Structure 1
């Protein structure tokens, strides 16, 4: 009988802290609140479906067949950017290991010294110099790390995100260093798609109203009326959001920095990340290198608890373990013990004497065991009788 130890390995995304959800074996990473994301997909797909069903057949015949073709390409690009933003790692920073956290705590205590009772300890801040300007690195009490520049802790996902911009419920994920450009391309393309559908909805209504009248056209195309209403209320928010992020990209700022006034507050500290040039700032944000994820979500890690698998295949080289049989017979045979169950008294006496010789003497004196005369063997009886005959 041999036992084989099997160590089960799991992916690292199964042990990652925070409030994210993972799908497709860690390839898809999103926030837990995904209800608004599903609403975003429903509005985009529903509006485009109505446009393809009601307006595109009429416009392709009376105006140009390129209208539905361009609408399809724009729709696919919008969906690709949305999924790329929603399903990617925004730049989550790994938390410190227990050993690293203990070392950082020891460094902080050594630097701050003993704080008198009743006084607030000094803030945990480190200063670094970027482009000849001092930037403060704040300590995250949840992740046990000093956050890199421009990083912040998202309270919804419960993770520190590098170059944190904001948490967008419409895409169901944080917007950070690794997916900001896709988020901006999503808002830009969605603005173009909304304007495109809204404009050709108006064209479709006008062209039909020339022949059948305005009221008859509205009655015959209820889907067009619904599209116009959805695009009208969506247009202002989407276009406004795109314009706001265009302004931030031109200054190389984030939404978090703009809201907090990090570079435009009372101290008038200049942005150390800006190149003082709109084109250079846009090229850095939109055309910069694609940063890899530092989480290694799909990497393997050993499981702490291992399972044992026992195989019952016989082995020729294995030595069977000695079997011990527990008997209920007393040490000294009595009248209630059957003859088959009586132990050998001489063997038990020898076993007791050898055990006494090997074991150390006990602290307390024990009464001596009663000695039992050994049983005479037949050969001994014969020799004894012969010697008696010689004597007589």
Structure 2
């Protein structure tokens, strides 16, 4: 008798979602894990740094090492040279000042500088822009106007569209090529703190450079006091006294060099605060009599705005859960991403002037463009919540955009006029071939 043949097991039927490995609920992840910028996160998204976060360790070493040498070789020798145990105050003050410098350094580098969240999709073109293209007999192209006009305190400014973040940048906002984010009131990217300096951490950055200047002056001054004490106690010349304390000589030279660096930054940013400018604006726009700074409110109000106004809350919740994006991070339009090595360095002032994408109008000034009437901002000069409420300036000449979708659309437009293909081709498999040809 032939053995019975076992029937094959039934083939399970999968739905579309199960075949794709997706359960009923979409897979979720933390925002900081799906972040498309170049930032580095610590403590599960509670601290955010730039990609050059390792430079902070060098900065901390350059602060702590000379302070430790000062306490060991100078302040310790001065403890008994002052009456009523007041010599201890020298060491207490230098330690307290050092702790304060390190705290404001962490507040500068470890917080959101004012990152503008990216849009998942580009904003829809305004009806006026699309209808004007149709009325003129042209087929609307798949791109947005490169700039829009807004009025701040009676002065017309141009805001630009960011292809990377898919949004129109608010006034004083710029895209940092190092961190790959649009930052509100962008000042510069400082490699010494490993973070962009913007709306939410500029106050702490100024406190960092100013307190570091005071620390250098404090160490420099008491090193000379110690040399004077040696001269008076032993009755020798200043040169012989300096030979007896080589640590003081090293600290004097080191603090003198640092004072020129951080002291120069303190003086420069004091001037910027008094005129309500950012480093980026000062180096790029250079306000003069012909071009008025629309944000200048007077010296007292400018300082009050920086130090006495409340810091706006972050627009990003890095610990919130968002749907997991299986696709790779979005790339820039043009020649590809710009890495940290492509930036221009001006000492401590990393202006972030490297282009984050290829666009012709980026070379022009936001303020030097044409003046036209558009929607007015509020009296405080703040931009409305929705970027689509801004007025549109239609460029006189079309700017070439190196985008695969734009090239594909232009290619279809030329062939459709010749009668080769119809509109339905763009929904078929030929669309992929056109995209490959365009790329």
TM-score (norm 2): 0.62
Match of 1:271 among 284, 293, 316: 293
- 1:93 matched residue in structure 2: 116
Q: 1:148 aligns with which of 165, 170, 179?
A: 170
**2:307 maps to what in 1?**
286
Does 1:29 find its partner at 2:51? no
Instruction: Give yes or no for contact 1:108–1:124 (8 Å, CA) kept in 2.
Output: no
Match of 1:149, SS? coil
Classify 1:279/1:226 alpha carbon distance in 2 versus 1 (closer, same or farther; 3 Å). same
Inter-CA distance 246–287: structure 2 relative to 1 (3 Å threshold): same
Matches within 5 A, 1:40-55: 40-55=59-74
Distance across 1 between alignment mates of 2:254 and 2:53 = 21
2:184 matched to 1:162? yes
Whole-Å separation in 1 of the counterparts to 2:39 and 2:126: 27
Residue of structure 2 in register with 1:362 after alignment:
none
Matched, 1:221 2:280: no
Question: Is contact 1:21-1:30 (8 Å) kept?
Answer: yes
Taking the aligned partners of 1:60 and 1:240, their CA distance within structure 2 comes to 32
Residue 420 of structure 2: aligned partner: none
1:130-279 equivalence runs, <5 A = 130-212=152-234, 213=236, 214=238, 217-261=241-285, 263-264=287-288, 268-275=290-297, 277-279=298-300
Q: Is the 8 A contact 2:125 2:144 kept in 1?
A: no
Q: Is the 1:165–1:176 contact (alpha carbons within 8 Å) kept by the matching residues of 2?
A: yes
In 2, the alpha carbon distance for the partners of 1:250 and 1:115 equals 52
Shift of 1:159: 0.7
Deviation of 1:18 after TM superposition, in Å, equals: 1.2
User: Cα 1:153–1:48, aligned 2, differ >3 Å: closer, same or farther?
Assistant: same
**1:296 paired residue number:** 317
Contact 2:146 2:161 in 1 (8 A): yes
What residue number does 1:335 align with?
Answer: none
Give distance in 2, aligned partners of 1:207 and 1:111: 82
Contact 2:34 2:324 in 1 (8 A): no
- 1 CA distance for matches of 2:277 and 2:217? 27
Q: Distance in 2 between matches of 1:15 and 1:108?
A: 34
Give the Cα separation in 2 of the matches to 1:123 and 1:303: 31
- What's the counterpart of residue 343 of structure 1? none
1:56 positional shift: 1.3
CA distance 1:103–1:189, change in 2 (3 Å): same
Alpha-carbon displacement from aligned partner over 1:351-378 (angstroms, at most 9, x marks no partner): xxxxxxxxxxxxxxxxxxxxxxxxxxxx
2: CA distance between counterparts of 1:83 and 1:195? 22
In structure 2, what is the equivalent of residue 60 of structure 1? 79
Shift of residue 230, structure 1, vs aligned partner: 1.1
Change (3 A) 1:111 1:259: farther
Q: Aligned-residue CA RMSD in angstroms?
A: 2.8
C-alpha distance in 1, partners of 2:243/2:128? 74
For structure 2, list consecutive stretches of 5 or more residues without a partner in the other structure.
1-17, 327-439
Residues 23, 49 of structure 1: alpha-carbon distance in 2 compared, 3 angstrom cutoff: same
The separation in 1 between residues aligned to 2:76 and 2:312, in whole angstroms, is: 43
1:12 aligns with 2:31: yes
Residue 77 (structure 1) aligned to one of 80, 88, 100: 100
Rounded to whole Å, the distance in 1 between the matches of 2:291 and 2:324 is: 49
Shifted more, 28-37 versus 197-206: the winner is 28-37
1:263·1:269 contact (CA, 8 Å) conserved in 2? yes
CA contact (8 A) 2:113 2:197 kept: yes
Larger radius of gyration between Structure 1 and Structure 2:
1
Distance 1:110 1:208, change over 3 A: farther
* CA deviation map 1:236-266 (0-9, x unaligned): 11111100000000111111110012533xx
Q: Secondary structure at the match of 1:15?
A: coil
TM-score (normalised: structure 1):
0.69
Instruction: Judge conservation of contact 1:91–1:162 (CA < 8 Å) in 2.
Output: yes
On the 8 A contact 1:112/1:122 being kept in 2, the answer is no
Could you list the per-position Cα deviations for residues 9-39 of structure 1 after superposition, in whole angstroms to 9, with x for gaps in the alignment? Answer: 3211111111111111011111111343222
